Chain A
Amino acid sequence: MKLIKDTAVKLAIPLIAIFFGFFAGAIIMLASGNNPIAGYAALIDGVIGDAYVFGETLRMMTPLIFSGIAVAFAFRTGLLNIGVEGQLIVGWLASVVVGIVFDLPMVIHLPLAILAGAIAGGIWGFLPGILKARFQVHEVIVTIMLNYVALHVSNHVIRNYMLASGQRTDFISPTASLTSDFLAGLTDFSRMHWGFFLAIAACVIMWFILWKTTKGYELRAAGFNPNASSYAGMNVKTNIVLSMVISGAFAGIGGAMEGLGTYGFIQILSSFTNLGFDGIAVALLGGSTSIGIFLAAFLFGGLKIGAANMQAGANVAPELVEIVIALIIFFVASSYLIRLILNRLQSKKEGK
């Protein structure tokens, strides 16, 4: 009986947080002289209104799923990977480099380009992992710093070695591309690409690694209680490094999705893509589960795509969705508050 109740509370927290987030967004719209109903109607219309925007939403979901998985995977091992942003950027760069430089048949070229993204992201995740395992350096600060290193190094490489016109690299060769005329045709020429199905596969892979393999059990054990798992004879240090590498690899593939699917190039980035930081929101709202991440990525991806229509359809500044997303994170993170409210309601009911 208690188990059912716990599951119900776990499901209720993100739903209540989403409700609070949108409710606060409505208040902000009211306070700034906009009509919240018209605003949200335009938002929803901008997500599922026609085939094009829906295709774009699925396209937007793709890197968000990967960055969400990256954050969640590390989180399951008790690590907070704020460096998904940087790992994603180096993965993006590496996949584009392989996509441009090599001349191979598609069966080899495309997997190789994705693998390059995974390896680059994995290396970028290895650094904070080894520093944590070897020198007990907190991974949060290292990953934040590495984000900036990734940004500047990537820009340096593009500017000095691969610059084409328009502050970006050349297009990748078609043999390394994830774009699909079939999917684009299906969705009224949106930029949806095959990566979406890779993202679904990644959700399954994450679930499989964590819940169906011995190593995954060890990783989760290290997250629950590093001392106990060390006492049980597991090598916690190796697991920390491994977890960061896998996490970074997922993030790197997320970057490859942008490089090989959405854009086909990488540009000089004047600031972060924010895809990695959004991954934190996705993982948190999704409760670090595969299905949760998929649904959360749909919500946030939809919000980001629908925001444009909010501007066009209801004259609400698109940044409103950023506010809503931030508030949802606050409310999920403050689940203590929601538990408190739920408990109060519960005890009141029992009192009657």
Chain B
Amino acid sequence: MDIISILNLIIPTAIFAATPLIFTALGGLFSERAGVVNIGLEGLMVMGAFSGIVFTLLFESLGFGAASPWVALVMAMLIGAIFSLFHAVASITFRADQIVSGVALNFLAVGLTVFLTREIFGRGQTDYISERIFRENILFLSDIPVVGNWFFSNIYPTSIVSLVFVLVVWYVVFKTPFGLRLRSVGEHPMAADTMGIKVNRMKYIAVMLSGALGGIGGAVYAITTSANFSGGTIAGQGFMALAALIFGKWNPLGVLGAALFFGFAQSLSLSAQQIPALANVPQVYLLIAPYVLTILALAGFVGKAEGPKAIGKAYEKGSR
């Protein structure tokens, strides 16, 4: 097996595995850049996966046809944003510990979605959706030799959308007044307040954006990968997105790189058996690679990862 065919095997799987991570980690980026830790990304993905499947089923039955999953993605985005308000109200207005509130959000998401699944479908999992989003070739670009094979043929449209989102988020965070305000709130809320920025309003917007993107991330995973929803559909992808956010040093382009790398590790762990050089490496090393690398990155062995200065603290007006 030569190197090209190995890459043919791995790269599309890596991009595919990275897509939900990219969406969710970009969401976490908004929230953490505004100084709100979001351990609840996992729960937001669960909520998104549930809404993605339920609304796809609903729109299918209403006769939306192939558009159903796309409309469901929008619904998952809205529901994720609304659901994230739990985290926002608790941690911003009521000054709850952001990490505790995030943990509670994860509990609540799993409890609520499985409860609703049982109430609606009478068992622990939903029906399977029939209108899925499938791999497609991108016009013209897929004809480019080699590279076209890797990046533009047989790719999920959602992956392309996630790449566009990376650029949009990068532009918004670093090139617009909104992004400047967002970052100032996360770095030094008192200074931001003095300059007339409404600190808590910015934090609310940021947390809701993280809910919206986390919702999309979960829905993309459910619609493209599992095609139904149960309590075990989202098992750790949210935490891996959090890892990608930190490994990517709270920068959209870094997040893209980290997510692709984690996706790469995941796809390696799945397809290692077919690659002679890796067939004898125990799968466990590839499974734990993303987590170990994140720890090493935090410890400064792989480039120091430093978060926003005022992260994790509730802002009280007039306090020092």
- Can you list 17 A-B pairs, Cβ within 8 angstroms, ordered by A? A138-B298, A142-B298, A144-B239, A145-B243, A148-B288, A156-B284, A271-B235, A280-B103, A317-B115, A320-B115, A322-B107, A322-B111, A322-B114, A326-B104, A326-B105, A327-B104, A333-B90
Interface centre among A131, A148, A284, A333 (most CB of B within 10 A): A333
> Inside 8 A of B94's CB, which chain A residues have their CB?
333-334, 336-337
A329–B100 touching, CB < 8 Å: yes
B58 within 8 A of A: no
* Interface residue tally for chain B (C-beta within 8 Å): 47
Can you list, as one digit per residue, whether each of B247-286 has a CB less than 8 Å from chain A (1) or not (0)?
0000000000000000000000000000000000011100
Given A141-B246, A144-B39, A325-B107, are A149 and B90 neighbors across the interface (CB < 8 Å)? Answer: no
Q: Among A28, A135, A336, point to the contact of B95 (Cβ < 8 A).
A: A336
B112 within 8 A of A: yes
**Would you call the interface of chain B mostly helix, strand, loop, or mixed?**
helix
Interchain CA distance A284-B115 in the complex, whole Å: 24
Interchain CA distance A135-B99 in the complex, whole Å: 21
> Inside 8 A of B95's CB, which chain A residues have their CB?
334, 336
Q: Which residue of B lies closest to A144 (CB)?
A: B239
Interchain CA distance A156-B288 in the complex, whole Å: 11
Interchain CA distance A319-B109 in the complex, whole Å: 11
Q: Which residue of A lies closest to B90 (CB)?
A: A334
A137 within 8 A of B: yes
B96–A270 touching, CB < 8 Å: no
Can you list, as one digit per residue, whether each of B75-90 has a CB less than 8 Å from chain A (1) or not (0)?
0000000000010011
B104–A333 touching, CB < 8 Å: yes
Q: Which residue of A lies closest to B287 (CB)?
A: A152
Given A141-B242, A277-B103, A329-B103, are A149 and B298 neighbors across the interface (CB < 8 Å)? Answer: no
A319–B242 touching, CB < 8 Å: no
B101–A333 touching, CB < 8 Å: yes
A163 within 8 A of B: no
A320–B236 touching, CB < 8 Å: no
Interchain CA distance A329-B288 in the complex, whole Å: 30
> Inside 8 A of B167's CB, which chain A residues have their CB?
none
A-B contact sample (8 more), CB < 8 A, given A140-B37, A160-B282: A32-B116, A82-B39, A152-B287, A284-B100, A317-B119, A322-B114, A327-B108, A336-B94
> Inside 8 A of B300's CB, which chain A residues have their CB?
135
Interchain CA distance A241-B242 in the complex, whole Å: 25
Interchain CA distance A141-B283 in the complex, whole Å: 23
Within the complex, what minimum Cβ distance (angstroms) separates A292 from chain B? Answer: 16
B6 within 8 A of A: no
Can you list, as one digit per residue, whether each of A313-340 has a CB less than 8 Å from chain B (1) or not (0)?
0000101111101110110011111000
What are the 9 A-B residue pairs with the smallest beta carbon separation, nearest first?
A322-B111, A333-B96, A326-B108, A326-B107, A334-B94, A156-B284, A317-B118, A329-B104, A145-B291
Q: Among B103, B105, B235, B298, point to the contact of A141 (Cβ < 8 A).
A: B298
Interchain CA distance A135-B284 in the complex, whole Å: 27
B298–A152 touching, CB < 8 Å: no
A270–B111 touching, CB < 8 Å: no
Can you list, as one digit per residue, whether each of B109-147 has a CB less than 8 Å from chain A (1) or not (0)?
011101110110000000000000000000000000000
Given A152-B287, A333-B97, are A146 and B295 neighbors across the interface (CB < 8 Å)? Answer: yes
B164 within 8 A of A: no
Q: Which residue of A lies closest to B236 (CB)?
A: A148
Given A323-B112, A326-B107, A326-B111, are A333 and B288 neighbors across the interface (CB < 8 Å)? Answer: no
**Would you call the interface of chain A mostly helix, strand, loop, or mixed?**
helix
With contacts defined as CB atoms under 8 Å apart, how many contacts are there between chain A and chain B in the complex? 134
Q: Which residue of B lies closest to A154 (CB)?
A: B284
Q: Among A82, A149, A317, A326, point to the contact of B288 (Cβ < 8 A).
A: A149
Instruction: Name B275-320 residues within 8 Å CB distance of A.
Output: 282-284, 287-288, 291-292, 294-295, 298-300, 307
Interchain CA distance A275-B248 in the complex, whole Å: 31
Q: Among B39, B90, B242, B287, point to the contact of A330 (Cβ < 8 A).
A: B90
Residues of A within 8 A of B (CB): 28, 32, 80, 82, 131, 135, 137-138, 140-142, 144-146, 148-149, 152-153, 155-156, 160, 270-271, 277, 280-281, 284, 317, 319-323, 325-327, 329-330, 333-337
B157 within 8 A of A: no
B284–A152 touching, CB < 8 Å: yes
B107–A319 touching, CB < 8 Å: no
> Inside 8 A of B283's CB, which chain A residues have their CB?
156
B65 within 8 A of A: no
Given A317-B118, A326-B111, A329-B107, are A140 and B99 neighbors across the interface (CB < 8 Å)? Answer: yes
Given A271-B232, A280-B100, are A32 and B111 neighbors across the interface (CB < 8 Å)? Answer: no
> Inside 8 A of A137's CB, which chain B residues have their CB?
295, 298-299
Interface centre among A160, A329, A335 (most CB of B within 10 A): A329
A153–B108 touching, CB < 8 Å: no
Q: Which residue of B lies closest to A277 (CB)?
A: B103
> Inside 8 A of A277's CB, which chain B residues have their CB?
103, 106-107
Q: Among A142, A317, A334, point to the contact of B114 (Cβ < 8 A).
A: A317
Interchain CA distance A330-B86 in the complex, whole Å: 8
B101–A330 touching, CB < 8 Å: yes
Within the complex, what minimum Cβ distance (angstroms) separates B87 from chain A? Answer: 9
Instruction: Name B182-202 residues within 8 Å CB distance of A.
Output: none
> Inside 8 A of B103's CB, which chain A residues have their CB?
82, 277, 280, 329
B108–A323 touching, CB < 8 Å: yes
Q: Which residue of B lies closest to A330 (CB)?
A: B104
Interface centre among A149, A153, A280 (most CB of B within 10 A): A149
> Inside 8 A of B86's CB, which chain A residues have their CB?
330
> Inside 8 A of A148's CB, which chain B residues have their CB?
236, 239, 288, 291
Interface centre among B107, B282, B288 (most CB of A within 10 A): B107
Within the complex, what minimum Cβ distance (angstroms) separates A277 from chain B? Answer: 7
Interchain CA distance A270-B90 in the complex, whole Å: 31
> Inside 8 A of B291's CB, which chain A residues have their CB?
145-146, 148-149
B119–A32 touching, CB < 8 Å: yes
